[in-house]
Structure 1
Amino acid sequence: MSTRAWPSREEWQAKAEYAVRTGCTMYERLDRLQPDTDWRSLGEEIEEEELGTPAAAEMRTLLTAEIARLRALFPERPDRTRERGIWFCGLEGQAYNDACNLGALEGMRADVHRARREGNWAAVTWQLGRLRNSYPEITLTESLLAAHDRLTAISDSISGRRRQAAEAAEQAAADKEIARRATDEAWAKELERRDRIDSPRVIRVGPQTAMSKDDQMT
């Protein structure tokens, strides 16, 4: 028999909202309620494509130029992954930093190409932000900066709309659970649940021998 100290009915009721908010994230709850929802408007979708398509193309051009410059610093850079890893670990100082940037920019260029092909404008926006904030040696044009500002504003608007819906769904679930726990029926079910935990059934697996008279429960 368990000696677990269960909360009183009043304590259990008081934890209703806490149970809802910690049971899953508000976004997980929203995705269960509204799976595969696109939170952007048609106008936002069109504008993202109109801004993201040329921005991705211009990014690739800038990235390709910087990648070519960095590759020229390392004519001995191995092509095979294992050998390249050994070579990379032997670098120091500025050479190490340049090699890090080279690998990162190569990965960014591939990600931007894939995002543009798939129409993933949020990914294009994120990668453009990385380029803008972390690689000052690459000069972005005014048009690219303006595109990033607008794409970020659209992304923030979409995120805010989704967050508002998630918060509303969580609050509705909390209100429902508070009301449920106030009923005698819910409390009775909670007591049954506790009893199952305190006195679990023993399930025997595999062939069993016949119980003797002394083993039988009364």
Structure 2
Amino acid sequence: MTARAWPSREEWQANAEYSVRTFCTPTERLAHVNPDAVWSTLAEDVEFEELATEAAKAARPLLTEEIARLRQAFPDRPAAGRARSLWVIELEGQRYDDACNLGALEEMRRNIQRAARNGNWGEIAWEVGRLFDHYRPAITMGQALCDAVLRMRALTATARRRHDEAADAVVEAAVAAEIARRATDEAWAQQLERRASIDSPRVIRVGAQTSPSKGDQVT
């Protein structure tokens, strides 16, 4: 067996930062260090809930009106399932686009209704945001609803920024700690032991007389 080419102590020490940064993502590291952290304030959560509640109420009639309009254009539309899928495939041009929009808006309305029942304010923000981004001006959204979408996005961005800043700080602390650790003789001795165990793995032979906890060293 060819011996593994291990880096020197200096190379191993110089690789400390790379090792930390590639071990896991900043989000994973932060979740491990601070698993129960919340990145929004109570006041922001209350505001977000109020905005999402009102956005759901305002969006539903808009969706219902547009869905009804599109349904009138497709009296032959199958109820659901494979028959509807095959029917959509046969459409062309604007009729195809309208049929796809109809299905998307129906799904959006269902999702908003379910999210409102379950108190899933983030899903409401996502769905109403889709309406804001992709279905104007065909669907006219009032200024209050547009403002609510933008405000919910601002609140989400604020919480995300706090999360990202905390994650970056955790990574930087881990990098500094690993650099300091690798500078010690104890850490280098542990690294040499680890390398030796990899280069000379131990196996347990079933039925052998030697202690199964010790095993037999492969030579």
Structure 2 residue 147 is the aligned partner of structure 1 residue 154: no
Q: Residues 209 and 166 from structure 1, CA distance in 2 versus in 1: closer, same or farther, beyond 3 angstroms?
A: closer
Deviation at 1:217, TM superposition (A): 8.1
CA RMSD for the aligned pairs? 2.3
2:114 corresponds in structure 1 to 114
**SS class of match (2:202):** coil
Aligned partner of 1:139: which letter?
T
1:98 corresponds in structure 2 to 98
2:126 corresponds in structure 1 to 126
**8 Å Cα contact 1:30/1:169 also seen in 2:** yes
CA distance in 2, matches of 1:152, 1:146: 10
CA distance in 1, matches of 2:32, 2:115: 26
**8 Å Cα contact 1:2/1:198 also seen in 2:** no
2:212 corresponds in structure 1 to none
Structure 1 stretch 46-55 or stretch 80-89: which is displaced more?
80-89
Unaligned stretches of 5+ in structure 1? 211-215
1:194 corresponds in structure 2 to 195
Q: Spell out, residue by residue over 1:40-62, the C-alpha distance to the aligned partner (whole angstroms, 9 max, x if none).
A: 10110111112110111111221
**8 Å Cα contact 2:115/2:121 also seen in 1:** yes
> So what's the TM-score if we normalise by structure 2?
0.87
Aligned partner of 1:30: which letter?
L
1:19 corresponds in structure 2 to 19
Aligned residues: 212
Deviation at 1:204, TM superposition (A): 4.4
1:81 corresponds in structure 2 to 81
Deviating above 4 A after TM superposition, structure 1's stretches of 4 or more consecutive aligned residues are none
CA distance in 2, matches of 1:187, 1:10: 10
1:213 corresponds in structure 2 to none
> So what's the TM-score if we normalise by structure 1?
0.88
Structure 2 residue 169 is the aligned partner of structure 1 residue 164: no
Select the structure with the greater relative contact order (CA < 8 A; seq sep ≥ 6).
1
